[in-house]
Amino acid sequence: MAEDSRLGSHTDEELVQSVREGDERAMNVLVDRHHGVVFRTCAGILGDEDLAADASQNSFLKAFRAIDRFRGEAAFRTWLLAIAGNEARGLLRKVKQRREDALEDVDILQAEGNDPSAEVVLRSEVARVRAVLADLPEKQKLSVTLRIFDGLSFREIGEIIDSTEGSARVNYHHGIRRLRELLGP
Amino acid sequence: MTRIECADVKDLLPEWIRQELGEDDRAVVAAHVSSCVSCSEEVEFLERIRGAAFSPPPSLASEIKSALAAEMASDAGFKYSRTTRFVRWGFAVAATLVLALGTTAIWQRTQALPEVGPLGQDPFAVVWPSDDADLTGVPIVAGVPMLADLTDEELALLLEELGG
Ligand SMILES: [Zn+2]
């Protein structure tokens, strides 16, 4: 998983330039660097690890296919995460549609979260925090996870959740307050 | 010592627990947290949330790299950007060609191209039509597929002829 040692010190923008010139190793370094946050963004939207992995892969494919459109006004990571957010939301729509077609109105994603048999899993503290986090509204969830797990700024999160910097801040604080209510002190 | 409000400190706590604050902010936040119950409790809570951070499956990075390598090696390998450029040019040319015939069909067809996604104003937010996007009933402009197959030189020549 280690980044290519020579390219590892390059900035994203330098690597993007190399990708444009067809350098596959530069692509791989960008994958090493950002697949975690891409995955967490997709998982935050989809609530399913397998789907999030699929969406992550498609996000990188689409980003590199469209690399000519990346003009550097935003950071590469922000641009990539915006693509990932769109990809995950698109996949979520498809999955919901398929499940509605198959099961008539049964929302499996929701149902799984409320399954009493999942109580066993919830016993561990980490699993409990994750479960409560998973039930937050999407913007609050992404604002909290991207801020705490990945250290993104409110400004960057705003671009990813299609809101302003101020709205990302509000969503983050509401999310934290809600988590504290649900998880206790 | 700079006076600082809880709200400002709480904005910075994620950087604080990640040890990513600059020296000045670090000193200010440290002084505040050590004397503020509310903020020190929030630090503990954020650490607890952070402890539940989840990672991608260990195989994900290599799976993505394999998919990228496969696309690089295939005939279609990342010529996407090339094709996109041609399609964009193609539309410019086709629009010129069909201007006299009315442009409704062109407009409708361009709607099916990569469009700006939910991120509204963000010009980077490219949403590609999905593989199984329903394009039935979307008029296709004759000539565009042909234009997409032209080489740079051929297209430049055609544009030159059209432009006079
Ligand atoms: Zn305080």
CATH number, domain of A9, equals 1.10.1740.10
Residue A49 pLDDT: 94
Q: Which among B18, B56, B61 has CB closest to A151?
A: B18
Copy the structure tokens of residue A82: 């915006």
Q: Is residue B21 part of a domain?
A: yes
Mutate to test the interface with B, among A21, A25, A31, A51 (most CBs of B within 10 A): A31
Among the partner-chain residues B51, B61, B128, the one whose CB lies closest to the CB of A32 is: B61
Q: Which of A48, A71, A86, A157 to mutate to test the interface with B (most CBs of B within 10 A)?
A: A86
Contact A172, A158 (CB under 8 A): no
| Residues A114-160: tens digit of each pLDDT | 454 555 555 688 999 999 999 999 999 999 999 999 999 999 999 99
In a domain, A122, yes or no: no
Is residue B152, in this structure, part of any structural domain at all? no
pLDDT of B88 over the 60 cut: no
Q: How high is the pLDDT of residue B72?
A: 87
Q: Is residue A116 part of a domain?
A: no
Could you give the CA distance from residue B26 to residue B23 in angstroms, rounded to a whole number?
5
Give the range of the structural domain holding residue B23, as residue numbers without chain letter.
Answer: 3-50
Which pLDDT score is estimated for A2?
55
Whether residue B17 has pLDDT greater than 50: yes
The domain total for chain B is: 1
- B36 vs A35: CA distance, rounded Å: 37
Contact predicate B29/B9, CB 8 Å:
yes
Question: What is the overall mean pLDDT for chain B?
Answer: 66
- Name chain B contacts of A90, Cβ cutoff 8 Å: 127, 130
Q: Which of A82, A65, A58, A83 is nearest to B87 (CA)?
A: A65
B4 pLDDT more than 90: no
pLDDT at B145 over 70: no
B126/A56 CB distance under 8 A: no
Query: Is B71 at the interface with chain A, CB within 8 A?
Result: yes
The answer to whether residues B94 and B143 touch, using CB atoms and an 8 Å cutoff, is yes
Does A40 map to a domain? yes
Under DSSP, is residue B127 helix (H, G, I), strand (E, B) or coil?
Answer: strand
Q: Which residue has the higher pLDDT, B74 or A106?
A: B74
- Say if A21 falls within a structural domain: yes
Domain hosting A34: range is 1-100
Q: Which of A59, A61, A73 to mutate to test the interface with B (most CBs of B within 10 A)?
A: A61
Residue B28 placed within a domain: yes
ipTM, interface predicted TM-score of the complex: 0.85
Q: Which two tokens stand for residue B159?
A: 């544009």
Residue A119: Cβ-neighbour burial (10 angstroms; 0-12, 13-18, 19+): exposed
Q: What's the total number of domains in chain A?
A: 1
Task: Report how far apart, in Å, the C-alpha atoms of A152 and of each of A12, A160, B28 are.
Answer: 15, 10, 21
d(CA A146, CA A155): 11
- In angstroms, the separation between the Cα of residue B159 and the nearest Cα of chain A is 22
Domain for residue B58, yes or no?
no
CB–CB contact A68 B63 (8 Å)? no
Distance B12 CA to ligand 1 centre (A): 11
Closest partner residue to A40 (CB to CB) among B46, B54, B68 is B54
- Over range B2-22, report the average pLDDT: 90
One-letter amino acid at A81 equals L
pTM to 2 decimals? 0.69
